Every structure is written in C-alpha cells, then in structure tokens.
Structure 1
Amino acid sequence: MADRTVMRALGWAPGRRLDIREHGGLVIVAADERGVFAVTREGHLRLPAVVRQWCGLAAGDRVFLAAEPETSRLVVHPPAALDAMIAQAHLVVLGGDGA
C-alpha cells in the first residue's frame, strides 16, 4: 500500500517496525518496535501473502484504510469486511426490508 497521506498521518517513516494482525476480518497494523514487519524504503506498507490470505485479498484488490494517529494504528478494511458492514447497516436502517 502506497498511500502517503495515511503514512504521513501516522508518522510512519521508512524502517518503522510494525505488528500486523487479523481481527474480525480486518487487518490491524500497529507501530511496534518489536514488530517483524516494516515500512519499506519507499515508504510503502507491504501486506505479506499470509496476511492477504487471512482476509481473502488478491493482488490489486482495493481496500478502505482508516488511520488512528493517536494510537499509531492502521485498520485495513478488505472488500468482504466492507460488504458485511454495509449489509448490517442496511439491515438496521431498512429493518430487513430491501425495498
């Protein structure tokens, strides 16, 4: 992921160590000096293949990124997670009636 706006908002520079985990279908990326992942020299975040597999992400899939600068955390919303959230919101707003 190469969204420089998000990386700047988080204050993550190249070499910043990161912890990457899946939780509830979302990918949670947190600054962590003991993290095994890092921001690349180019300032990008690469999601390892195993992380992409956790969430069913394929190369080129678009995701929604939500930066939480106060906690130095990034939440990656894969398409399946967005679909589920939208379906739930429609159920609540429309009361289960799709018309």
Structure 2
Amino acid sequence: MAAIDVSGRIADRLIVHALGWTTETRLHIYEDAGLIVVRLSPHGVFTLTGQLHLHLPAAVRKWCGLKAGERVLLAADAAAGVLVVHPPAALDQMIVQAHTLALGGDRA
C-alpha cells in the first residue's frame, strides 16, 4: 500500500527497486477497468522522478477518481515489467465481487 501525494506521486522505492526501474526507464501508463497499469515500454513517454517516485498523470488520476492522500494497493510482476495500481474504488468492487461469490450471490 502507498499514498498518492498532492502532485500525483507514489513514493514507494521498494517496489521500484524490485522492478529494477531507474530514472532512465521508459514507461507507458494507462487506465484499464478502473486499474492503473504501468508497463515498461521503449516508446513510453513517462519516467520516474529523480527521487525514483512514480508520477501518475492527472488524466489517469481523474479517470480513477484518485485524490491526494488516498492509499492504493500496488501489485508488481517484475518478470513482465508491470506494476498495477489498485485505487480504492477498484478494491471496493473486487471485494464486493469476492463476497458475492463466496456468499452465494443473491441467495438469502
């Protein structure tokens, strides 16, 4: 879990190091099904900040309803060079779906 600062940065260096990313790493950042996907891409227009923080673009934050101070769940696949950022709304939806499945759907 990590917090989004007022500028849209995530300051979790542990996950950045686990992914092997540096300030030279080119990234593609996009929203997909309410999640923020960050992928290695030789044509990516994004990079980490000088402090190795991930800056999420304002448009992506807006699409996902992220505000400063909110905490997000980070999940990485280092072998694939992918980081998935789970905003609170996406986590809520996943929990509702899991509980619905575990509790038998609409059954009383």
CA contact (8 A) 1:13 1:39 kept: yes
1:78 equivalent to 2:87? Answer: yes
Quick one: which amino acid aligns to residue 6 of structure 1?
Answer: I
Q: Determine which of 56, 68, 72 is the counterpart of 1:47.
A: 56
Quick one: which amino acid aligns to residue 43 of structure 1?
Answer: L
Aligned equivalents of 1:6, 1:98: Cα separation in 2: 41
Look up the match of 1:90.
Answer: 99
Quick one: which amino acid aligns to residue 48 of structure 1?
Answer: P
1:3 equivalent to 2:30? Answer: no
> Aligned with 2:74: secondary structure?
strand
**Percent of matched pairs sharing the same residue:** 57
Normalized against structure 1, the TM-score is what?
0.94
Normalized against structure 2, the TM-score is what?
0.86
Q: CA deviation at 1:97?
A: 6.3
CA contact (8 A) 1:15 1:40 kept: no
> Aligned with 1:7: secondary structure?
helix
Structure 2 gaps of 5+ residues are 1-9
Moved over 6 A (4+): none
Q: Figure out how many residues of one structure are paired with residues of the other and give that number.
A: 99
Aligned equivalents of 2:107, 2:95: Cα separation in 1: 13
Aligned equivalents of 1:48, 1:61: Cα separation in 2: 15
More helix by share: 1
1:12 equivalent to 2:21? Answer: yes
RMSD of the alignment, in Å? 1.5
Q: CA deviation at 1:45?
A: 0.3
Structure 1 gaps of 5+ residues are none
